Structure 1
Amino acid sequence: MYRILVPVDADSDRARGQAAFVAELPTAAENIEAIVTHALTPEEIDAPDELQSVDRIETVRLVRDYLEERDIAVELAEGSLPPADGILELAAEFDVDHIAMGSRKRSPTGKVVFGSVAQQVLLESDVPVTIVGAREA
């Protein structure tokens, strides 16, 4: 089984792009398991216990549902803060083969530098990292 970590933020278009990337991989339904994660913000962490669940996050549900509709196995995992460290910890914990990160649109000059989370994950990950663009609904 090929395991892909899909860390999502609050942007639905980026999450959709990440889900589409995973679903479009060859033999995705037969051989891929996606671990979808989101690092709860301080506000989400301060919420009542029953609300502190990663599946409460809209983008997590969006990716989970998109992949499950395409018969791809999905597991949810709560990330920790700071996000880049949490992503790297989950990659090791779940022994993933790949990480599919979302990214914002950037100017030609801005494309040289990714966001701080993506950049840290790219530089410190022991597995391949793919930066995926957004897809609108």
Structure 2
Amino acid sequence: MKDVLLGIDQSVERAVAQAETVLDLFDEDETHAYLLHDFVDNPEGASVVQVDAVKRAAEIFEEAGVSVDLREGSGEPAESIIQHADELDADAICIAGRKRSPAGKMLFGSVSQSVILNTDRPVLICSAADESA
């Protein structure tokens, strides 16, 4: 059994790309997907089950027969992804890259870069068909 943690943001398109990438690379019968959405700011107390991107990724996995667990975190996304991956002893992490200018990366940081640099687990970076990572 391969446990894969997917760090899912608000983008349905990126979540679909992540789910499809995991299905392309891992055997459906031997994969367990953990879908993590990190609420950086959640004053309304939303739940992971309310996030459209998470719901769509879960549907894709369930249609393929992959077992799915939903998780939520709060705070800095990269730290949350790494923490959950460590708690689960995940075999891999899958995150969605997004196109940013060099200045944007410097100003806002890069979750993808931070995860890659701060974990010893394999990290898959994927993007929606109409985006470049």
Do the structures match in fold with TM over 0.5? yes
Deviations 1:39-68 (A, max 9, x none): 1131xx2115xxx31111000001001110
Question: d(CA) in 1 for partners of 2:31 and 2:79?
Answer: 24
1:16 and 1:135 in contact (8 A); partners too: no
Percent of paired sites with the same residue: 35
Structure 2 gaps, min length 5: none
Pairing of 1:28-67 with structure 2 (within 5 A): 29-42=28-41, 45-48=42-45, 52-67=46-61
CA distance in 2, matches of 1:131, 1:123: 13
1:22 Cα shift? Answer: 1.0
**Structure 1 gap segments, 5+ residues each:** none
Deviation of 1:89 (Å): 0.5
SS in 1 for 2:71: strand
Is 2:7 aligned against 1:13?
no
1:101 Cα deviation after fit: 0.8
Q: Which residue in the other structure is 1:74 paired with?
A: 68
* SS at structure 2 position matched to 1:24: helix
Task: Note if 1:88 corresponds to 2:82.
Answer: yes
Whether contact under 8 Å (2:6, 2:34) holds in the other structure is yes
Kindly indicate whether the alpha-carbon contact (under 8 Å) linking 2:4 and 2:31 is maintained by their aligned counterparts in 1: yes
Instruction: Write out the 4+ residue segments of structure 1 that deviate beyond 4 Å after TM superposition.
Output: none
Q: Any idea what the Cα deviations from partners look like across 1:81-117, whole Å, max 9, x if unmatched?
A: 100000010001111000011011468x89xx9x611
* Secondary structure at the counterpart of residue 68 of structure 2: strand
| Cα deviation, residue 135, structure 1 | 3.4
Q: Report how far residue 26 of structure 1 moved.
A: 4.1
